[in-house]
Structure 1
């Protein structure tokens, strides 16, 4: 076992335009090869598209979509004896938000469309309405947790 101390979790600074921690988390998850400006531009463009489509606050829409996507449990596998069990474990709000962002971005990447900003805007709108691939992923996790709820840890 390592003798080093666990490293402290770094604080994420909020973004300069919207002053939102959620957008900064989105940007950090979306960026590739250190191109943070490009990732930030994609997110800002998708937020402006949402603003035009919905005619309401884009940040509020994004927060509601993330809230709809956030799972309450996560499936962990544990080996007991010779068998492998799927055990549902309750998760923190930060972990739930991170999972929701990850699912939203992966569902947006899988969509067919012109560019990433439109795909992301469409997926956020779908998550706001409780439909789409990201919501399906959350429901699948909850269904698996429900089926193995007798093993649940609290």
Structure 2
């Protein structure tokens, strides 16, 4: 029996005040934030920290829960999936992105500029939440 996948992601501010956006093949060329599946026995915090190290080589600090979203058979995702997306806000002292094979492109932008990118709808929701809360 298939069950929903629990996934984590984070909108991360660098020390210069800009946020990291990435483009991956999994979201059909749309831009988003690094993240991925929570592994068995792993906390949400451990998962988001691991995913950032694996995907972009960044260590996260000041990780704070932001929201949970549900992606049920989203046409934006590359395959049929039912995901619970647990979103965080965080900072990093690192600035050099070391991408893995999942990351096609990346950019550091000011939060208000993020909405100018073709974001997947779930990342758009996270950016809009961050904008309502005010920049970090």
Structure showing greater Rg: 1
The structure richer in helix per residue is 1
- Taking structure 2 as the reference length, what is the TM-score of the superposition? 0.30
The structure richer in strand per residue is 2
User: Larger relative contact order (C-alpha < 8 A, sep ≥ 6)?
Assistant: 2
- Taking structure 1 as the reference length, what is the TM-score of the superposition? 0.27
